Each structure stands twice: as structure tokens, then as C-alpha cells.
């Protein structure tokens, strides 16, 4: 089978920036074992000129965006369609719900091509929650624009993959149709990581954004300091935008104001090797997010044998089983979140038991099993035009 994957693909596989890049990278590598795969990365301003990289059964097109605004990447629609036609593809799998994605769907369906779309997160919910946290005109306009195109993509896409039943239920309110519920997978390296934890070391992985709720996580550390003065929290993420950089600055100020310089570290753009080392040495994984469709970083931590303390939002309850492999609490409830962390820090035996349960539950996120399911149920499950 000849498959085209379209989405944010890592330019440097040693530094994977976010869940979509991790998903596209993992799925592509497994699919290429039995198929011929072409990847078209979303046009990006950091790519000066179009570049093509090939290895084994994978050909990757890193496309440039010659314009100042990322939103103008849709002007490369014709170039992308031309690459697809020359490849003589059997199926085109798009990992986005942007305006560019909408144009590609309409163009490819007109040419009677088989099109699949994976929805990574629900923009209209994420952006609304973000607007409630940061009430600015700019954020409100982003909510309107992103939601509008997301709605159109949901209406236009013939086949849609979502990662949890939570997302399927949310999209069904927009349009009733069949949604393929198939979770995002994780790299096999996480299943073989040793659990060489250090007492009182915590890790949180996610973009440095207000949505991830790092502020509430840091406030939880303030409450834990009296009982665990040597507690160490590593927040590892990336800075995609000006909003992320503003969030980063506010978090650094919060750390400074609470004298947490020796307890909380924020690492941006860390190589995968560094991330893996810190994860291996961490006692547990923590995330105080305001919205997640699945939470890839949570699944990775589970595969590495870490119990999870997180928020009961979005698709997280479909991944973390409360009182089995971790604890869940409401977003913004710093007291309960702190108590949940305290419970595990004070009870290493319970922590180990929950860590073992995490490893068992994480088996369902193997890319081998997920790629096989996508191929059989979606790619080969009948063409819809």
C-alpha cells in the first residue's frame, strides 16, 4: 500500500516537539515496515527551502512557508496536492484540522482519493478554556477562527480517527457520523525503560502553555515543601508561540516569588535522551492540565512504570484509572492534587503497585497494535467519497 501522511513531522528526531510530531513519527515508522510511505510535513517558516529526505520505505518532504504568518501555509495547497498525485497514493492520512487541512480534503475528495483525518485534540474546547483563563480579544478571535475551520473539517472529512471516546462524543455534537476510536501510540523505548526512581523526584511533560496548568502544579509543590523539603520537580516542554513564552515568564516569576529555585526546574527543547533519563529517575508523573484528548506524555510515563497524578478532564479518565494506577482530581483543586502527590510520596509500596499497573495498562498503546488496527479498520475498511 502507498500511504501519504500529512502533519507536523519532526525536523530533528532527537527533539520531538509535542504529541502530534510524536504520533506522526511513530505511526510512520511502523507503517513503513510493510508499506511505502511518503510524509509531507506542514509548511514551516523555519524550513528555508523545500527539502526531501529518504530512507528505507519513507520519503519525507519538509516544506517551507515563505510567508510571515504560519496561517498562510494554506498557500502551499497546490504544491502538496501535486506531490500526492505524483506518488499515486492509495490513502492520504491528514493529522490536522486547520484551514490547510480543509482545502486538502476538498481537493482530494474531488479527485476521488481516499482521505483519513486524525483529530489531535479538540480546538473549540481547548481554545474556549484557554480564553476563559486568558480573556483577551486575540484569544477570543482565535477561538472563533479555529473552531470554525474545525467544524468544517469535521463535516468534510469522510473518515475521522479520534483517540478516546471523550473526543468522539464531543465531535458527535457537531455531526453524527462514525468516528474510529483508536488511541495514539507511544515509542517502544518507553516499555523497556528501567524504573530507577529517586525519592521525591517528580516529572511533568507538556508544552509550556496555560492549558497545561503548570501554575497549579507549582502551587502544589509549595504545599508539599514543609513535608518534603528536598522535593524536585522537572517541567519539560517546548515553546511554540508568544503565548508559550509569556506563560514561561510567568512560571519563572512564580518560582522566584516562592523561593523554589532549588526545587522546580523548567527545561525547554530538551533532547529525547535527557527527557528519558529524567523520566527513568522520577518517582511519579504529574500533570495539572485543563484539557487533554488523550495525553500522550501520560501514556509514555505509564509505559515507563510511573504512577500518575493528574486532573479529571477530557480524555485523561480513559487513560488513568483512579486508585488503580494513579489519582485524579478536578482542575484548579490544588489542595486535593497536593494530597494525591503526598499520598504516593509517603507510601513507596503503594507507588510501586500503581507503577506496575501503569505498565500493564500501557500495553494497549503499542504502535505495532495501533498501526495494524488503523490499516485494517480505516485504510482497508472501505473507501468513502
Strands ordered across the beta sheet of 115-118: 51-55, 58-64, 36-44, 2-7, 91-94, 115-118, 159-162, 179-181
What pLDDT is attached to residue 121?
85
What pLDDT is attached to residue 19?
78
List, by residue range, all CATH 3.40.50.2000 domains of the chain: 2-185+366-379, 188-365
Instruction: Convert 41-79 to b/e letters by CB count within 10 Å (16 or more is b).
Output: bbbbeebeeeeeeeeebbbbbbbbbeeeeeeebbebbee
CATH number for the domain whose boundaries are 2-185+366-379: 3.40.50.2000
What pLDDT is attached to residue 303?
97
Q: 202 with 283: CB under 8 angstroms?
A: yes
What pLDDT is attached to residue 150?
93
3-state helix, strand, coil in the chain (%, to 5): 45, 20, 35
Mean pLDDT to the nearest integer, 301-322? 97
**Over 90: is that where the pLDDT of 358 sits?**
yes
Mean pLDDT to the nearest integer, 21-25? 89
What pLDDT is attached to residue 74?
86
Confidence of residue 383 (pLDDT cuts 50, 70, 90): very low
**Over 80: is that where the pLDDT of 203 sits?**
yes
pLDDT of 38-79, one tens digit each?
A: 999 988 888 888 999 988 889 999 999 877 677 788 888 999
**Over 80: is that where the pLDDT of 366 sits?**
yes
**Over 50: is that where the pLDDT of 385 sits?**
no
What pLDDT is attached to residue 342?
97
**Over 90: is that where the pLDDT of 138 sits?**
no
For residues 207 and 337, which has the higher predicted lDDT (pLDDT)? 337
Mean pLDDT to the nearest integer, 152-170? 95
- Residue in 150, 143, 248, 261 with CA at minimum distance from that of residue 206: 248
DSSP-assigned letter for residue 366: B
What pLDDT is attached to residue 285?
98
What pLDDT is attached to residue 382?
53
The span from the CA of 181 to the CA of 44, in Å, is: 29
Q: What is the pTM of this model?
A: 0.87
For residues 123 and 251, which has the higher predicted lDDT (pLDDT)? 251
pLDDT of 245-299, one tens digit each?
A: 999 999 999 999 999 999 999 999 788 889 999 999 999 999 999 999 999 999 9
CATH number for the domain whose boundaries are 188-365: 3.40.50.2000
What pLDDT is attached to residue 127?
86
Mean pLDDT to the nearest integer, 300-325? 97
Looking at the chain, the whole-number percentage of residues with pLDDT higher than 90 is 76
Question: What is the rounded average pLDDT for all residues in the chain?
Answer: 92
Amino acid at each position: 500500500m502507498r500511504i501519504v501522511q500529512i502533519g507536523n513531522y519532526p525536523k530533528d528526531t532527537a527533539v520531538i516537539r509535542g504529541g502530534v510530531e510524536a504520533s506522526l513519527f511513530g505511526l510512520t515508522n511502523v507503517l513503513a515496515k510493510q508499506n511505502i510511505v511518503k510524509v509531507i510535513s506542514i509548511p514551516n517558516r523555519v524550513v528555508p527551502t523545500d527539502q526531501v529526505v529518504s530512507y528505507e520505505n519513507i520519503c519525507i518532504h519538509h516544506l517551507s512557508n515563505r510567508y510571515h504568518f504560519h496561517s498562510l501555509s494554506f498557500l502551499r495547497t497546490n504544491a502538496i496536492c501535486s506531490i500526492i498525485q505524483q506518488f499515486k497514493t492509495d490513502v492520504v492520512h491528514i493529522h490536522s484540522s486547520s484551514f490547510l487541512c480543509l482545502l486538502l480534503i476538498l481537493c482530494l475528495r474531488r479527485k476521488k482519493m481516499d482521505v483519513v483525518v486524525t483529530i489531535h485534540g479538540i480546538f473549540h474546547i481547548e481554545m474556549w478554556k484557554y480564553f476563559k483563563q486568558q480573556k483577551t480579544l486575540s484569544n477570543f478571535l482565535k477561538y472563533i477562527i479555529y473552531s470554525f475551520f474545525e467544524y468544517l473539517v469535521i463535516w468534510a472529512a469522510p473518515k475521522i480517527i479520534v483517540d478516546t471516546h471523550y473526543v468522539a462524543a464531543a465531535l458527535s455534537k457537531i455531526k453524527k457520523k462514525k468516528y474510529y476510536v483508536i488511541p495514539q501510540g507511544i515509542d517502544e523505548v518507553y516499555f523497556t525503560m528501567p524504573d530507577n526512581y529517586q525519592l521525591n523526584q517528580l516529572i511533568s511533560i507538556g508544552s509550556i502553555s496555560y492549558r497545561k496548568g503548570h501554575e497549579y502544579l507549582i502551587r502544589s509543590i509549595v504545599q508539599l515543601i514543609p513535608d518534603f523539603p528536598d522535593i524536585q520537580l522537572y517541567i519539560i516542554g517546548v515553546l511554540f508561540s508568544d503565548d508559550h513564552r509569556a506563560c514561561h515568564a510567568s512560571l519563572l516569576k512564580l518560582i522566584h516569588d516562592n523561593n523554589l529555585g532549588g526545587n522546580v526546574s523548567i527545561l525547554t527543547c530538551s533532547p529525547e535522551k535527557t527527557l528519558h533519563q529524567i523520566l527513568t529517575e522520577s518517582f511519579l508523573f504529574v500533570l495539572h492540565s485543563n484539557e487533554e484528548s488523550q495525553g500522550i506524555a501520560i501514556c509514555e510515563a505509564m509505559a515507563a512504570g510511573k504512577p500518575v497524578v493528574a486532573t479529571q478532564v477530557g480524555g485523561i479518565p480513559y487513560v488513568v484509572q483512579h486508585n488503580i494506577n494513579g489519582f485524579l482530581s478536578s482542575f484548579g483543586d490544588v489542595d486535593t492534587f497536593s494530597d494525591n502527590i503526598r499520598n504516593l510520596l509517603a507510601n513507596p509500596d503503594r507507588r510501586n503497585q500503581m507503577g506496575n499497573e501503569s505498565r500493564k495498562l500501557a500495553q494497549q498503546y503499542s504502535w505495532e497494535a495501533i498501526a495494524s488496527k488503523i490499516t485494517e479498520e480505516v485504510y482497508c475498511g472501505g473507501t468513502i467519497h
